[in-house]
Structure 1
């Protein structure tokens, strides 16, 4: 059955995409802290200003672009797997109906 093969093929890809998304979400906090620390070392004393500078930094913005791509890939693979699972459920229902009809004949 092609749906089972697709699940076997795409499940590891989905797992990798999900782990990448989670990693980037967590690393975003680290990147913000590192950028705030760099701003402090550059003489910025106010925490809110450090935070603003961190959010505006090109490295932080690049991280957000990567996070967006990771979420998109995770969702694409998740919906592929959901579709494959739905095909299996439709097949199971059709087979159950076929068996019920055969039993009634």
Structure 2
């Protein structure tokens, strides 16, 4: 296993913090906009029945495109989140090794 440099791990986390924040902001925006888009599409439908207008909105190409964008936003956010989690775990592994090394040094003295 390669040596873990906690400073590089922290640098990675800091440098990706803005990307992660932007990815989360994009996802939340799309989740909220989805509601507005549904309402806008329902309003443009000429049917009187609410369920017909809702069906129109959910099947509209613009709504489906929005859902595809939401899927992509979630994928980007989750990838960045799991990279951050992995980086945190690397620091924990490094900490454990360092603690073990210190304990071993005390035993051999």
Q: If the TM-score is normalised by the length of the shorter chain, which range does it land in? A: over 0.9
List per-residue Cα deviations over 1:7-37 (Å, max 9, x = no partner): 0011111111011101100100000000001
Matched, 1:54 2:57: yes
Q: What does residue 24 of structure 2 align with?
A: 18
Q: Which runs of 5+ in 2 are unaligned?
A: 1-6
Matched, 1:7 2:13: yes
Q: TM-score, normalised by structure 2?
A: 0.91
CA distance in 2, matches of 1:35, 1:86: 45
Q: What does residue 67 of structure 1 align with?
A: 70
CA distance in 1, matches of 2:91, 2:30: 33
Alpha-carbon shift at residue 102 of structure 1 (Å) = 1.1
Q: Which runs of 5+ in 1 are unaligned?
A: none
In the alignment, which of 23, 35, 40 is matched to residue 34 of structure 1?
40
Q: TM-score, normalised by structure 1?
A: 0.94
Matched, 1:80 2:83: yes
Number of equivalences: 102
CA distance in 2, matches of 1:18, 1:32: 22
